[in-house]
A and B are shown apart, each in its own frame.
Chain A
Amino acid sequence: MLEKILPNEIYNILAKKVNFNSVNEIRLRADKPIVLLIGGQRTFLGFNGTTSNLKDAIYPSKIMIEDIIFRASECSIYSVNEQIKRGFIVTQGGIRLGIGGDIVEENNKIKTMTNFSSVNIRLPHEIKNCSLSAFDYLVEENKVYNTLVLSPPGAGKTTFLRDFICQLSERNYAYNVLVLDERGELDIGSHGSIGNFSDKISFAKKAVGFENGIRALSPNIIVTDELGQAEDINAVEYAINCGVTVFASVHCDSIESFLKKPNFEKVISDKLFERYVLLSLRKGPGTLEGIYNENFSRVRL
């Protein structure tokens, strides 16, 4: 998919001179050097591959960035305008492009975004068995615990969730899993990416997705990415009260910062989640720092 989005001159360098599988992010800013995030380390993209020298780096033009966004929308910006209004586009295959530019407002509502000046391309990775070391602590005697995966951005939350869904399926836990894919990142379309017992609702806000999903698809487990808003927490509470197990993630770099996170007071006091998985970038994306129970006592590591 990336070959359809990126200009040939950049794609060819990435394909021939950089190990694609290790690239997590490609950041392009108008008239600024292209930055790659590889295994948690930042480096520039030059004409001969990666470089630490600014002089050798490639500087994309604004037209190039606009063209990347146009191509990512399959040459149909209008079809992804709802996503653009929220600052991103997700392509087939789960490649997410965060967009910087000018927001156009009309009647105090965001109408669209124009004058694109930067784009952050996040490449999804399917890392088989990355959730395996935590699996036995999250599923016991056929019970899947309500689990919240805590990690800073880029540390592998989504990859962990994706693999967990797959592990459930591979172990033949025939739970009906509902994947609420608000940003279209969880299902990257590759074989088995969300398992054999999964339904998917994409691009719906969590409140809507939880309610409709529970009513229409009667799931045993709901998996969703990046909780944050108060309404997300209400949706989680609603699901748990309906007897549905929730497996979710949140941006956070430690248990201490999670305990101070706004909107999560009720989650903590009511012990909505029974397990917390903390990931970090310490030894590269997906480093498992610990698994905690509802009282934030370590159950592993």
Chain B
Amino acid sequence: MSSDTKHAAHAHPDGWTYVKVGVILTLITVIEVWAYYVPALVAHPFFNPGLIILSAIKFATVVLFYMHLKYDHRLFRVLFTGPLIIAGCTITALLFLFHHFKTVS
């Protein structure tokens, strides 16, 4: 590994980047809560998927920037995303198993 690559692997963001990430997280939260209070949006079929997407963006932002997974060794990414995928599949499978999703018969 070249010294440049080594340096890139260690190059964590500076303090202002962390603050900007905090502002983005706050703005997304404000949008989520604002949408909760708009009846027309709540009634929209894309309301729940939209909230889940916004939540996933916040989740990924914290993991990539604050937990430094974007900059760290790939083994750590595997250790985290592996169980996360299993967890997601478990939730989905259980919801199907308990008929939470309406299916066309």
Do A and B belong to a common assembly? no
- B interface residues (Cβ-Cβ under 8 A, vs A): none
- A interface residues (Cβ-Cβ under 8 A, vs B): none
